[in-house]
């Protein structure tokens, strides 16, 4: 789940009109949203750059760019669907 949170954070940084939560709505399952890990993320307000840097290190990525490439390969289609839906519908 933390990979998905980081993927959403990195995608939001590239798309000024979308927020982390917009991408998380596409990536997370209902079970993940109900998990203790998600509750901790919400409690810590994990949308900050510091939290993203923490996740990059904890998930073992050497750099933000390596994380972006790896996570784009894994979650890119879902992230793109969300971006396109916003452009088409405005939400």
Q: What is the pLDDT of residues 31-87, one digit of tens each?
A: 999 999 899 888 887 778 888 999 999 999 999 999 999 999 999 999 999 989 888
Contact 26, 38 (CB under 8 A): no
Query: What pLDDT does 53 receive?
Result: 92
Query: What pLDDT does 75 receive?
Result: 96
Q: What is the residue extent of each domain of the chain?
A: 2-89
Distance CA(80)–CA(62), nearest Å, equals: 24
Distance CA(38)–CA(4), nearest Å, equals: 11
Decide: residue 15, CB within 10 A, 0-12 exposed, 13-18 middle, 19+ buried.
middle
Helix H or strand E segment including 51: helix 49-58
């Amino acid at each position: 789940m933390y990979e998905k949170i980081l993927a959403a954070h990195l995608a939001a940084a590239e798309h000024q009109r979308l927020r982390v939560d917009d991408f998380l709505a596409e990536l997370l399952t209902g079970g993940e949203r109900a998990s203790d890990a998600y509750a901790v993320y919400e409690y810590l307000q994990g949308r900050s750059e510091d939290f993203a840097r923490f996740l990059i290190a904890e998930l073992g990525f050497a750099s933000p760019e390596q994380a972006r490439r790896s996570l784009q390969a894994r979650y890119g289609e879902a992230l793109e669907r969300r971006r396109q839906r916003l452009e088409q519908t405005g939400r």
